[in-house]
Chain A
Amino acid sequence: MSPRTNPHKVTADDNPLRDPRDRRLPRIAGPSGLVIFGVTGDLARKKLLPAVYDLTNRGLLPPGFGLTGFARRDWETQDFAQIVHDSVKKYARTPFREATWRQLAEGIRFVQGEFDDPEAFERLATTVHDLDVERGTGGNHAFYLSVPPSAFPIVCRQLAKSGLSKSREGSWRRVVIEKPFGHDLESARALNDVVSEVFEPDDVFRIDHYLGKETVQNLLVLRFANQMFEPIWNAHYVDHVQITMAEDIGIGGRAGYYDGIGAARDVIQNHLIQLLALTAMEEPVSFSPEDLRAEKIKVLSAVRVPRDLAKHTARGQYSAGWQGGEEVVGYLEEQGIPAESTTETFAAIRVDIDTRRWAGVPFYLRTGKRLGHRVTEIAVVFKRAPHLPFESTATQELGNNALVIRVQPDEGVTLRFGAKVPGTAMEVRDVTMDFGYGHAFTESSPEAYERLILDVLLGDPPLFPRHEEVELSWKILDPITKSWAAKGKPEPYRSGTWGPASAEAMMARDGRTWRAP
């Protein structure tokens, strides 16, 4: 018989069904809807819409979820639903289930309009309100601006004017923006002014999909959950750090966006500097967003750019060549690129960090298009042992020890160290110990966008950079891009190679070489 006691109280902060010890229970987002601007774009079709389906399939979205598309196309809701259906079938990670699809499809809406048309936003406001009534989204809506940054101001203003950006008591409105966050410090501030006029800082989510990758979060686990790495994570043991993001593709159809922006602004400013911050920062006192951000800001504010930029940076532009067995054109021959363009497609820079931990340890960042192959990695290269009790001939082939965190593809961690070559002679050679995520854990780890979209709906921002970080990274990059702008054309490099000769020269000057990633 049930004991005669009063039932447990349910309050906003205390749900008796959520036992803190119960780690099976999934965190399901509360009633909410997502409005995507620019649903016809590549990102929406290949990443966002499939991620929304995958989240539904994993049971992590609220039952009455609303998905609204906003675009110029003359579509009806059914047409949009068809687009979602097709992109889900083609790109979703989890298997297609009719029942899941029906559940998602019931919440799909489409609003046709131009960004400068106030009536379209009135229609959007009505649609969103209808979703609250028909689907019970509770007035909670996130606006995903998958549009060029030049359109941010107008969309933000329209959201404010139509009242969409304002939430009622007890509900929320959030905005999600994608990089680039401006093209220099000044424009980043201007952009931030526009967005912060309309949304509170806590309601602005800047998406950097790299930060949603498992490996990046694993970097924090590797550093701070283990005992054996942190003691050597400093200038006593580390010689230098190389952070690389290489792409094998060219600019594809993004000529309009890419020309005038270039590799440094496109990649270094956001991805590489964020990876640098996570690699170099001190241990945060907790993993709360505020504490994590405090450490990132601290380390970014200690980053120093070299005085002689010509000696410690390199830039290049890919020229025609053969890559992976296919003939490819040079950057200047790409469609939509002016023949005299000085935009760089390869950028490498050295920065130093003025802290006790990193004094004298250079961080080298490089990125480029049409390089050897697609790879993103952080390599922590250690100093050589101070004394080698072997014949010098025995250790000729021994390089520096290195710990490499591979972000993509084939996420994992590699450790490089010396081992004896079997045989009677004493001979030491480098070997690698390889940990692949895919070997030890799930093959089906969630896509970065799934994680990020869920975090937006849950209002959980640890992985999103804040405006202060964006400003600091522009402060690092601005002097470099300014100096490049005064120097004319970047050095050409053959497609399918690891960049221009000046990149090698820049490392050689410091007595180092780039790793072959």
Chain B
Amino acid sequence: MIIEMPSTTTNDVNKRLVKLRDEGGAVALGRVLTLVIDVGDHGVEAAIEAANFASREHPCRVIVIAPNNDRESNELDAQIRIGGDAGASEVIVLHPSGELRGHGDTLVIPLLLPDAPIVAWWPYEPPANPAADPIGRMAQRRITDSTECSQSLQTLQRLSTVYSPGDTDLAWTRITLWRGLLAAALDQPPYESVTRAVVAGNSTHPSVDLIAAWLAQELRCPVEIERQPDAPAITLVSLERKSGPIVLDRPDGKTAALRQPDQPEHRIALPIRQLSECLAEELRRLDADEVYADVLTKGLARL
């Protein structure tokens, strides 16, 4: 169900939510967090769809801020989505205009769930310093997505200079499966140090830089990046060791091949991760990701 509330106040939105709960018996008590999404000038639908999917794993209240730049008056339009239109969450879309656009935090504060963590997510361009942003400041966890930015690699570099505990980037989440496979490969004998690593992938995809930075940070070996203009995300990681390289190769963005010396080649289903899947993983932990911090602030500098 979608309820439109033109020219309204957050107080009325709140009242309406309580009323809806009374009528529909919708349980808000099981909600574990409030997810605040700042879409900037972009459309709201893609972000809501991902949030609805993630809400099945983490029931949450979703508040989407999408400023209306076409109107000059200081007004707030709101929309409430519940039931089938909101997954296991309740979605509140806020369209502030005029001066209200600069006070997003005061619009959000009355709508937060009591005593529940807050997660801020910028699906597109993040603020210059997420932790200093009015909404970022309230949040325990701040999710950026450098992959979706027009200048991905520069954004990543900029985020590394302003890192603050609780920050995370979906480009990092996208490489979890790769990291898991590489770590598992090193769990097995022969136990040899990695002398050099090669990462190949799309020239502007920040995940390529993050996985290279992770390898450099943890293995302390030279890491080389091969940039390919039109490749689908990461295409290859090779860890060179005395007995021969461990190669994880995914040329088509779907199925990977794992090659190791004296071992049969393995094919592994390794599709590029969906946004919704990554968001669900992000919401699983709400404490600071220290490994990401090291990779971002120290690892990138090792490349």
Contacts and interface: CB of A to CB of B under 8 A. Distances in A.
A201 interface: no
A336 to B, nearest CB: 43
Interface in B11-35: 27, 29-32
A99 B264 contact: no
Interface in A303-362: none
Contacts of A440: 30-32, 59
A391 interface: no
Contacts of B210: none
A294 B32 CA distance: 35
B291 A22 contact: yes
B271 A10 contact: no
Interface stretch (A26-34, A254-262, A465-473): A26-34
B177 interface: yes
Contact of A24 (B30, B31, B221, B281): B281
A386 interface: no
Contacts of B29: 439
B59 A26 contact: no
A446 to B, nearest CB: 12
B220 A99 contact: no
A8 B219 contact: yes
B58 A17 contact: no
The range of chain A's interface size is 35 or more
Interface in A60-78: 62-64
For chain B, which range describes its interface: under 10, 10 to 19, 20 to 34, or 35 or more residues?
35 or more
A31 B194 CA distance: 21
B267 A102 contact: yes
Contacts of A417: none
Contact of B57 (A7, A17, A442): A442
B56 interface: yes
A383 B1 CA distance: 46
Contacts, number: 139
A23 B285 contact: yes
Interface stretch (B38-46, B97-105, B146-154, B184-192): B184-192
A414 interface: no
Contact of B181 (A8, A15, A63, A138): A63
Interface stretch (A128-136, A276-284, A494-502): A128-136
Contacts of A24: 173, 176, 179, 281, 285, 289, 291
A16 B222 CA distance: 15
A12 interface: yes
Interface string B159-199: 00000000000000100110111111011110111110000
Contacts of A26: 176-177, 180
B7 interface: no
Contacts of A443: 56-57, 88
A122 B94 CA distance: 69
A168 interface: no
Interface string A77-103: 000000000000000000001011011
B275 to A, nearest CB: 16
Given A5-B220, A7-B221, A9-B193, A439 B59 contact: yes
7 A-B pairs closest in CB distance: A439-B30, A63-B266, A99-B269, A7-B221, A17-B183, A442-B57, A28-B184
7 contacts: A11-B191, A16-B219, A64-B264, A99-B254, A103-B269, A440-B30, A441-B32
